[in-house]
Amino acid sequence: MIPDLLTGPGSEPVSLDEVKAWLRLDSSDEDQLLSTLIVSARMTLEAYTRRFFVTQRWRMRLDAWPAQTLRRRTLAIPFAPLSAVSDIRVYDSSNVAQTVSRESYRAAPTREAGRLVFLEPPAEPGRAYDGIEIDIDVGYGESATDTPESLRRAILALVAHWHENRGDAAETGAALPTIVLALAKPFRRERLT
């Protein structure tokens, strides 16, 4: 499976004003730096937790349906939280996309990784690679406040850490500061394989 980001979040889980208040900064001298740190902190914590915080649209590309999908008529969606499956396309041998009817599958929103359940076996792609495209919406919601509060606090703490330690501090061996790990760990999805 190859994931492609189609539409990033419309806003960040914390605003520039919230970060400036957290850091007790009044001037706008470092606004650009702080904005960049907010995005970096969100992306870092999304990677750590294996969750998306604010709604985003992704495309999953597959060469073929996994054998398990054809047998059980289910496909695991590895992204969390799953909001919706917006489109499924299967390319035929002429390289023309055939849209899979929404009535032929179910995908319930979930706070965890989701799954597609096909009511009938899905069509096999006709081309050898990237024959299947599945567009999904993931994230806690459109609004910053839809993101759980402890994840928002983890972003603030990580931005503060990076702002205060701009490469001049000795490495402690920890990838993330202890407070950030404590705030984010309850949301971390562990790998099963």
Q: For residue 59, which of 90, 93, 87 has the smallest C-alpha distance?
A: 87
CA neighbor of 47 nearest in space, from 155, 174, 153: 155
d(CA 104, CA 119): 5
33 and 62 belong to one structural domain: no
Same domain, 66 and 122: yes
Does 155 map to a domain? yes
Assess whether the previous peptide bond of 121 is cis (omega < 30° from 0): no
pTM: 0.85
Residues 84 and 125 in one domain: yes
Q: What is the pLDDT of residues 87-143, one digit of tens each?
A: 999 999 999 999 999 999 999 888 887 889 999 888 899 988 999 999 999 999 999
Tell me the per-residue pLDDT of 14-31, one tens digit each, with 9 for 90 and over. 999 999 999 999 999 999
Percent of the chain at pLDDT above 70? 94
Domain that holds residue 125: 56-138
In terms of domains, do 45 and 93 share one? no
Total domains, the chain: 2
**pLDDT grade for 183, boundaries at 50, 70 and 90:** very high
60 and 131 together in one domain: yes
Element containing residue 87 per DSSP (H, E): strand 82-91
Q: Looking at the structure, tell me whether residues 94 and 132 fall in a common domain.
A: yes
DSSP per residue over 48-65, as a string? HHT--SS-EEEEEEESS-
In a domain, 20, yes or no: yes
**Is 1 a member of any domain?**
no
Q: Say if residue 61 is in the same domain as residue 128.
A: yes
41-99 residue pLDDT tens = 999 999 999 999 999 999 999 999 988 777 788 898 989 999 999 999 999 999 999 99
Query: Considering the chain, what is the average pLDDT of its residues?
Result: 91
